[in-house]
Amino acid sequence: MSYTEWAESQLAEIELLTSMFPGQDELELTDQLALAELRSYVENSASGEKPPPSRPQFFIKQRLDSSDTNETKLILTCAYPSEYPSVLPDITVRCSALSRAQQTEIQTDLNKYLMKNCLGDLCVLAAVDWVKENLEHFIKKSLSTAPAPKLESASQTTQDVFSRLWIYSHHIYNKSKRKNILEWSKELGLSGFSMPGKPGVLCVEGPQSACEEFWSRLKVLTWKKIMIRHREDITLNRQGDDSNTVESLDSLRKFTGFEEAMFDPHGNRGNHMDLGQLYQFLNEKGCCDVFQIYFGIEGR
């Protein structure tokens, strides 16, 4: 298929979805300009021209009601790569009734289903139907595996773990993924940075449970390659209210807040960063040793 054919298919699917989910509480297009540019491209471009870089993104919101779902809210976040439907769209499932483990499992199973049955075809409606048909099963699993609450004395010693994850990706281009990274880090109270482009470099730091939640969401998206290149875990002993010395998780942070960091983008698509500037950035944060872990050479 050509870029024009891909774009025509994307526009046709958006128009179908708009007719099926007419309300703002059912379908929310987050970037109207991207949709307008896609429509203009379909109507006016020659077959060899590449599509606009901005990609349509939208939320599909559903309410499910049964004995187990109890009017559960379900949100599917969707974004189109330029080559969709020859490649799968980026679809993320969010449902508050699911445990973290089941959230990861339903995302993984959905991606497997779409890869096996829908690659090459428009598939957003198929994804919505599959999630609606299978959600109750995952909610039941969440309820059956929910741990019993633990009662602890206020003066009992507990342990907190501070984590820092250094994540490597073959590339980070997609605006939807970049938006997710920024939103999830803020939602989970994580600090760090994300360097888009090729390669993609990510660091998140904060409570271990929040870092693990961030990674569980990130890794199930569609990536050419993504991995945790290095991790740091520090266990803190916290005493009860009668203790005079309580070490803070925040005292271990090397970053203030979370940011998307750009280092002199260059190359034909502006997707390569100046690694020398990345090294200086890491050095200023006291993390220069991780540069060799990422790239196998010492920075300067």
The answer on 167 and 136 residing in a single domain is: no
Range with the lowest mean pLDDT among 70-84, 113-127, 199-213? 70-84
Position 169 pLDDT exceeds 60: yes
Per DSSP, the chain holds a count of helices (H) and strands (E) of 8, 9
3-state secondary structure at position 90: strand
pLDDT at 152: 47
150 occurs within a structural domain: no
205 occurs within a structural domain: yes
**What is the Cα–Cα distance from 262 to 275, expressed in whole angstroms?**
10
| Residue 67: band (very low, low, confident or very high) from pLDDT cuts 50, 70, 90 | low
Position 13 pLDDT exceeds 90: yes
CB distance 76 to 130 below 8 Å: no
Q: Among residues 111, 144, 177, which one ends one of the domains? A: 144
CB distance 10 to 123 below 8 Å: no
Query: pLDDT by residue (tens digit) across 235-271?
Result: 876 554 444 444 678 889 999 999 999 888 776 666 6
pLDDT at 72: 79
Helices 124-144, 3-20: axis angle to 10 degrees equals 60
Q: Among residues 84, 115, 144, which one ends one of the domains? A: 144
pLDDT at 130: 94
pLDDT at 186: 92
The answer on 263 and 173 residing in a single domain is: yes
149 occurs within a structural domain: no
pLDDT at 246: 46
The answer on 198 and 98 residing in a single domain is: no
CB distance 99 to 145 below 8 Å: yes
pLDDT at 245: 41
Task: Output the domain CATH number for residue 178.
Answer: 3.30.70.100
The answer on 218 and 89 residing in a single domain is: no
Q: CA-based diameter of the chain, in Å? A: 73
Handedness of CA 11, 270, 278, 281 (dihedral sign): negative
Count Cβ atoms below 10 Å from residue 14 Cβ, excluding itself: 20
| Residue 273: band (very low, low, confident or very high) from pLDDT cuts 50, 70, 90 | confident
The answer on 197 and 126 residing in a single domain is: no
For residue 131, count CB atoms less than 10 angstroms from its CB and return exposed for 0-12, middle for 13-18, buried for 19 or more. buried
Closest CA to 122 of 6, 290, 244: 6
Position 121 pLDDT exceeds 50: yes
Range with the lowest mean pLDDT among 162-166, 204-208, 296-300? 296-300
The answer on 192 and 135 residing in a single domain is: no
pLDDT at 239: 53
24 occurs within a structural domain: yes
pLDDT at 73: 84
DSSP-assigned letter for residue 172? B
Position 291 pLDDT exceeds 70: yes
240 occurs within a structural domain: no
206 occurs within a structural domain: yes
The answer on 169 and 132 residing in a single domain is: no
pLDDT at 94: 86
The answer on 270 and 192 residing in a single domain is: yes
Q: Among residues 91, 112, 144, which one ends one of the domains? A: 144
pLDDT at 279: 92
* Average pLDDT of span 142-158: 51
Q: Return the half-sphere exposure (C-beta side, CA atoms, 13 A cut-off) of residue 29.
A: 18
**What is the Cα–Cα distance from 137 to 160, expressed in whole angstroms?**
33
The answer on 120 and 200 residing in a single domain is: no
Indicate yes or no: pTM above 0.85. no
Position 117 pLDDT exceeds 70: yes
**What is the Cα–Cα distance from 101 to 217, expressed in whole angstroms?**
10
Position 197 pLDDT exceeds 70: yes
pLDDT at 48: 63
242 occurs within a structural domain: no
* Average pLDDT of span 42-46: 79
84 occurs within a structural domain: yes
Quote the mean pLDDT of the chain: 83
The answer on 228 and 203 residing in a single domain is: yes
* Average pLDDT of span 133-141: 86
Domain count along the chain: 2
pLDDT at 146: 54
Q: In what order do the strands lie in the sheet with 200-207?
A: 226-238, 158-169, 200-207, 191-195, 258-260
What residues make up the domain containing 129? 3-144
For residue 127, count CB atoms less than 10 angstroms from its CB and return exposed for 0-12, middle for 13-18, buried for 19 or more. buried
CB distance 74 to 131 below 8 Å: yes
For residue 261, count CB atoms less than 10 angstroms from its CB and return exposed for 0-12, middle for 13-18, buried for 19 or more. middle
pLDDT at 268: 64
* End-to-end Cα separation, the chain, in angstroms: 45
Instruction: Tell me what percent of the residues of the chain surpass a pLDDT of 90.
Output: 38
The answer on 94 and 35 residing in a single domain is: yes
Task: Output the domain CATH number for residue 111.
Answer: 3.10.110.10
3-state helix, strand, coil in the chain (%, to 5): 40, 25, 40
Position 147 pLDDT exceeds 60: no
The answer on 255 and 192 residing in a single domain is: yes
